[in-house]
A = this chain, B = another copy of it.
Amino acid sequence: MAGVFEHTVNVRWRDTDALGHVNHAVYLTYLEEGRDAFYMWALDGSPMYVVVRLEVDLRAEVRHQDRQVMVQIAVERLGTTSLTTRETIVTAARELVASARVVTVRWDPDQREPIPFSHDERARLTALVSG
Binding site for B on A (CB under 8 A): 9-10, 12-14, 16-21, 23-26, 28-29, 32-33, 36, 46, 48, 50-59, 61, 63-65, 107, 109, 112
* B25 with A26: CB separation less than 8 A: yes
Q: State the copy count for this chain.
A: 4
Complex Cα–Cα for A82 and B27 (A): 20
Report if A13-B33 is in contact (Cβ < 8 Å); known contacts: A51-B58, A54-B54, A57-B53: yes
A-B contact pairs, 20 of them (CB 8 A): A9-B10, A10-B10, A10-B33, A12-B29, A13-B32, A13-B33, A13-B36, A14-B17, A17-B17, A18-B18, A19-B50, A24-B32, A25-B28, A28-B28, A52-B57, A52-B58, A53-B55, A54-B54, A54-B58, A61-B112
